[in-house]
Amino acid sequence: MIGRRIGGALVVAVLASTAFAAGPWSVEQDHADMMRQLGITQLRPGANGDPSAPDAANYDEAKANPYPAWPDLLKMADGRPVTTAAMWREQRRPELIGLFEREVYGRIPASVAGMTWRVASVDREYFGGRPVLAQQLVGHVDNRAAPGIVVEVRATLVLPADAKATVPLLVMFAPARYPSPTQPNAAEAARLDTALKAVLISRDPTFASIFAAHPGFELVKPGSVFPPPPEDERVTKLIAAGWGVALLDTASIQPDSGAGLREGIIGLVNKGAPRTPAQWGALRAWGWGASRLLDYLGTRPEVDAAHVGIEGVSRWGKAALVTAAFDERFAMVLIGSSGEGGVKPHRRNFGEKVENLTGTGGYHWMAGNFLKYGTERGRLGHKTANDLPVDAHELLALVAPRLAFVSYGVPDQGDANWLDQQGSYMATIAAGRAWTLLGGHDLGRGNDYATAVMPSQGTDLLAGDLAWRQHDGGHTDAPNISHFIAWADRKIGRRSGR
Ligand code: GCU
């Protein structure tokens, strides 16, 4: 019995050591490993962001649509038209989900471990005079299968403390920090100041003369009775409107680099081995983390779990869309400046291209299989964006009939042309058919994406359940947040500020 136990322990020890004996692993090594798995010998380079480069990104609208025939949203792969809501739900949606999982964003392995949330600390803060309960949450992922890989997901939950009813809540992909942390009072600051000076004098006794010469000098000052305004105006506006906010730190779920694919939740499931081609990339991993946070929010009596949204900008805008597309429990999504891999059509050649996300800079966001579509030479032959069985309008359509707000800024203010605002508008127009089929409302501008022209900046297309607004700022969604709140409150039948 003892011998068998020892034997068992040895086996565990050997498995554990092979599981995380990863050693240094670079983006280049990981990318090359995925090319090898797919038999790719040459990938095309991405568009160059430098306009003077010979391979500069295209910004000529006349050349932007080399593949104008996009896959038909309402046609099954075998050609049958999708004519009813039931057919969408039972056949087309699952078909699209399967294709996006296999070819674009990757599948979540069935063996992914569970997460246990705890409240690590609590801060009672004020936003514009409104009391909030702020809590640091930590989601621990069971890592007994590979103890060398630790995944502790960090989130900050911010709830209005004076709410009369449950609150809708926006999960934001953002650093998980207290948004307006309380500060030490005068007595606490004085104690800290005295202790800090003593420590410094013990390190270097000559400091004593400096402190003696300046008796009023404070290393630690008391916090103001008026707390500092929160850094993020979006959080302030949401709280003022009576919403809750949860800031979710994506890096704590999955590192934002190909070099990190043997770590984080992706690495944990693979016990430290590199990904296989159909496995998930970082966008889905971040979305998985958001889904686990939603599980937890459902246990909080303060939260109206039927009205939780997801938000992100740029790579997090892509992640917000992916999250809402796959997890139907999210009632709404605010997609900020998402570009390629988000709302921008893969088939458009304007700014960033598929090839930019098959190279070392962004491939880790996607499934390994996505590399096939940037292939010049390889076992599977030459493939382009036009070989993708799906496109961005179909990803957006997976959110239907729920609430989806597509947000961009203007290139002159820093929301670069690179993101292809016009193409993203075309995709939003094309996606609208799913809302109509399911009894919802699209942008109200028809569905002919080929002739659709983006309306001028500031035009509110906020009547439908699918909404579009280009604000007058840069690479952020902050100028759109009050529009988002008013639109979402109206759609869910709620008065702002309750
Ligand atoms: C780059 C990249 C985009 C991405 C953006 C970001 O511009 O090409 O795809 O969205 O970085 O900052 O997330």
Can you give the residue ranges of every domain in the chain?
1-38, 103-113+164-171+230-492, 184-225
Ligand 1 near 420 CB (within 6 A): no
For 17-25, what is the mean pLDDT?
A: 58
> Rounded to whole angstroms, what are the CA distances from 69 to 205, 370, 428?
77, 20, 15
Q: Cα(196)–Cα(219) distance, rounded to whole angstroms?
A: 8
Structural contact between residues 313 and 476, judged by C-beta atoms closer than 8 angstroms: yes
Q: Is the dihedral of CA 318, 321, 323, 325 positive or negative?
A: negative
Pocket probe for ligand 1: among 352, 363, 370, the residue whose CB has the most ligand atoms within 8 Å is 352
Tally of CA atoms within 13 A in the half-sphere of 122 that contains its CB: 7
> Which pLDDT value is given to residue 228?
60
Q: From ligand 1's centre to the CA of 314, what distance in Å?
A: 6
- Per the document, the length of the chain is 498
Structural contact between residues 464 and 444, judged by C-beta atoms closer than 8 angstroms: yes
Nearest to 250 by CA among 309, 302, 296, 311: 311
Ligand 1 near 352 CB (within 6 A): yes
Which of ligand 1's atoms lies nearest the C-alpha of 313? 13
Ligand 1 near 314 CB (within 6 A): yes
The two tokens of residue 18 are 């092979």
Structural contact between residues 46 and 352, judged by C-beta atoms closer than 8 angstroms: yes
Ligand 1 near 358 CB (within 6 A): no
Band (17; pLDDT cuts 50, 70, 90): very low
Band (129; pLDDT cuts 50, 70, 90): confident
10 Å Cβ neighbour count for 177? 15
Ligand 1 near 339 CB (within 6 A): yes
Ligand 1 near 465 CB (within 6 A): no
Strand partners, 159: 133
Which of ligand 1's atoms lies nearest the C-alpha of 337? 10
Ligand 1 near 312 CB (within 6 A): no
The two tokens of residue 240 are 């003022």
* Residue reference for tokens 């099954």: 76
Strand-pair category, 40-43 with 375-378: antiparallel
Band (229; pLDDT cuts 50, 70, 90): low
Q: From ligand 1's centre to the CA of 185, what distance in Å?
A: 42
Strand-pair category, 303-313 with 167-173: parallel
Q: What is the pLDDT of residues 379-420, one digit of tens each?
A: 999 999 999 999 999 999 999 999 999 999 999 999 999 999
Q: Which residues have a Cβ under 8 Å from the Cβ of 198 and sit 6 or more positions away?
A: none
Strand partners, 42: 377
Band (2; pLDDT cuts 50, 70, 90): very low
For 59-64, what is the mean pLDDT?
A: 97
Q: Cα(109)–Cα(107) distance, rounded to whole angstroms?
A: 6
Q: From ligand 1's centre to the CA of 192, what distance in Å?
A: 42
Angle subtended at Cα 343 by Cα 354 and Cα 310, rounded to the nearest 5 degrees: 125
**Overall CATH class of domain 103-113+164-171+230-492:** alpha beta
Structural contact between residues 395 and 105, judged by C-beta atoms closer than 8 angstroms: no
Pocket probe for ligand 1: among 257, 315, 408, the residue whose CB has the most ligand atoms within 8 Å is 315
Which of ligand 1's atoms lies nearest the C-alpha of 356? 8
Q: What is the pLDDT of residues 424-465, one digit of tens each?
A: 999 999 999 999 999 999 999 999 999 999 999 989 999 999
Per-chain mean pLDDT for the chain: 93
For 98-107, what is the mean pLDDT?
A: 98
> Which pLDDT value is given to residue 222?
87
**pLDDT value at 14 more than 60:** no
Strand partners, 378: 40
The two tokens of residue 143 are 């890592």
Ligand 1 near 415 CB (within 6 A): no
Q: From ligand 1's centre to the CA of 315, what distance in Å?
A: 6
> Which pLDDT value is given to residue 128?
73
Closest Cα to atom 9 of ligand 1 = 340
Ligand 1 near 424 CB (within 6 A): no
Q: From ligand 1's centre to the CA of 191, what distance in Å?
A: 46
Ligand 1 near 476 CB (within 6 A): no
Ligand 1 near 491 CB (within 6 A): no
Of all residues in the chain, what percent are helix, strand and coil, respectively (each to 5)? 40, 20, 45
Ligand 1 near 394 CB (within 6 A): no
Alpha helices of 21-88 — where are they, by DSSP H? Answer: 27-38, 85-87
Closest Cα to atom 13 of ligand 1 = 315
DSSP string, 295-329: HHHTT-TTEEEEEEEEEEETHHHHHHHHHHHH-TT
Structural contact between residues 440 and 466, judged by C-beta atoms closer than 8 angstroms: yes
Q: Cα(253)–Cα(166) distance, rounded to whole angstroms?
A: 28
pTM: 0.93
Ligand 1 near 270 CB (within 6 A): no
Pocket probe for ligand 1: among 48, 105, 173, 314, the residue whose CB has the most ligand atoms within 8 Å is 314
Band (118; pLDDT cuts 50, 70, 90): very high
Band (21; pLDDT cuts 50, 70, 90): very low
Q: What H or E segment, with its residue span, contains residue 72?
A: none
